């Protein structure tokens, strides 16, 4: 077994860079679902571009969206077993991986969240900060940038394992820069450079730091539905043994205060530490997990001047 008790220098440098980048000036955004009906400003009318995506989640990973000040999102994420597991397992429906999560907008730009997954009985917490907003007109930014950082802890019991699995050794950290552009009212694309740091790895050959480049997109089909795709490419020098790149396809359905998301993917895990660096299924061999996410928004603290 190999482990480290603190983040590597590369992780520290990466996080410092994200913090400095996140200090760029930004303006407030409205409630997430309230933005879905808005149209992007025209090139002749300078303004901020909102509703790049329908939800704070695309499929596996996060989007640049934040819920808005005083808004809480309750998420139920559910993923069945693989389709190629056969009729005995009802093609995966007998099995399930779940995550319950809460996300809260401290400000229009700053979001915190917590969750608990059945896989590895992992608890996770994260923070998101929207550093830059896409803006049309002279001097506007062509993209939105949201900084993301999370910590996850494996709480599985290891009976008969003599190795001392301390809290530090069980912890994993993720840092991402989410860069997105809304090209039209129908098309949005996102780029996600990602690093995952493991304090403990399975073998001496496995790296503590895993680097990936994520690519994602949304094509709006109707006013309240969209087709989504997401892919994480692991850089070869940091790729763990036997791990595959995570691929996912999905559909979003928006109904009032809910966003209902259906998807298929070769990743079993529901948080970054799992789907980025622990995906072993071959999508094209039928190692496909069908799943869904249900989002429900609650206004916990209305903004000043809010009117029904």
| Reported confidence tier of residue 35, pLDDT bands at 50, 70, 90 | low
Task: Tell me the pLDDT tens digit for each residue of 206-234.
Answer: 899 999 999 999 999 998 899 999 999 99
Distance between CA 141 and CA 25 in Å, rounded? 12
In a domain, 24, yes or no: yes
Tokens of 41: 């400003």
| Structural domain harbouring 65 | 2-157+168-299
Residue 271 in any domain: the answer is yes
What does the mean pLDDT of the chain come to?
85
CB of 46 closer than 8 Å to CB of 252: no
The answer to whether position 304 is within a domain reads no
Q: Per residue in 165-202, pLDDT tens? A: 888 989 999 999 999 999 999 999 999 999 999 998 87
In a domain, 29, yes or no: yes
Weakest-pLDDT range from 34-43, 115-124, 155-164, 208-217 = 34-43
pLDDT the model gives residue 159: 73
Question: What is the tally of structural domains in the chain?
Answer: 1
The pTM is what?
0.82
Which residue's structure tokens are 């596996």? 60
Percent of the chain at pLDDT exceeding 90: 62
Give the residue with greater pLDDT, 161 vs 204: 204
> What integer pLDDT is reported at residue 162 of this predicted model?
59
Identify the CATH number of the domain in which residue 74 sits.
2.40.160.40
Kindly state the percentage of the chain with pLDDT values over 70.
81
* pLDDT tens by residue, 280-296: 999 999 999 999 999 99
Q: What is the pLDDT of residue 186?
A: 95
Question: Per the domain annotation, does 163 fall within a domain?
Answer: no
With beta carbons less than 8 A apart as the criterion, state whether 191 and 184 touch: no
CA distances (Å), origin 81, targets 92, 157, 246, 267, 287: 4, 23, 16, 10, 9
Q: Where are the alpha helices (DSSP H) in the chain?
A: 9-22, 32-35, 167-170, 272-275
Does a structural domain hold residue 76?
Answer: yes
Q: Which residue has the higher pLDDT, 50 or 15?
A: 50
Q: What is the pLDDT of residues 296-306, one digit of tens each?
A: 988 888 765 44
Would residue 308 count as lying in a domain? no
| pLDDT tens digits, 53-106 | 989 999 999 999 999 999 999 999 999 999 888 888 888 888 899 999 999 999
Residue-level pLDDT at 204? 81
- pLDDT beyond 80 at 13: no
Query: 183 is written with which tokens?
Result: 């090209």
107-111, 252-256, 259-263 — which one is most confidently predicted on average?
Answer: 107-111
The neighbouring-strand residues paired with 176 are 148, 194
Contact assessment for residue 78 and residue 104, using Cβ atoms and an 8 Å cutoff: no
In this prediction, residues 252-261 reach a mean pLDDT of: 83
Task: Confirm whether 204 is domain-assigned.
Answer: yes
Decide if pLDDT at 109 tops 50: yes
């Amino acid at each position: 077994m190999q482990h480290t008790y603190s983040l590597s220098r590369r992780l520290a440098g990466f996080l410092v860079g994200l913090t400095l980048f996140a200090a760029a000036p930004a303006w407030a955004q409205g409630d997430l679902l309230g933005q879905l009906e808005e149209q992007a400003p025209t090139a002749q009318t300078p303004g901020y571009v909102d509703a790049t995506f329908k939800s704070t989640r695309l499929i596996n990973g996060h989007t640049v969206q934040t819920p808005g000040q005083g808004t809480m999102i309750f998420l139920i994420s559910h993923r069945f077993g693989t389709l190629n597991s056969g009729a005995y397992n009802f093609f995966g429906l007998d099995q399930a991986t779940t995550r319950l999560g809460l996300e809260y907008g401290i400000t229009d730009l700053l979001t915190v969240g917590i969750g608990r997954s059945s896989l590895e009985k992992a608890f996770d917490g994260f923070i998101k900060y929207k550093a830059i907003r896409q803006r049309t007109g002279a001097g506007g930014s062509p993209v939105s940038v949201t900084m993301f950082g999370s910590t996850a802890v494996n709480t599985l019991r290891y009976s008969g394992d003599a190795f001392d699995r301390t809290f530090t050794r069980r912890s994993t950290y993720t840092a991402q820069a989410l860069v997105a552009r809304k090209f039209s009212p129908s098309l949005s694309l996102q780029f996600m450079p990602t690093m995952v740091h493991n304090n403990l790895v399975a073998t001496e050959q496995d790296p503590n730091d895993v680097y990936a480049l994520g690519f994602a997109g949304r094509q709006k089909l109707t006013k309240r539905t969209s087709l989504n795709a997401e892919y994480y490419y692991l850089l070869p020098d940091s790729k763990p043994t036997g791990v595959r790149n995570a691929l996912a396809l999905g559909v979003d359905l928006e109904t009032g205060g809910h966003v209902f998301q259906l998807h298929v993917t070769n990743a079993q895990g529901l948080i970054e530490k799992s789907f980025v660096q622990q995906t072993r299924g071959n999508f094209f061999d039928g190692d496909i997990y069908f799943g869904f996410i249900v989002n429900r928004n609650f206004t916990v603290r209305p903004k000043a001047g809010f009117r029904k």
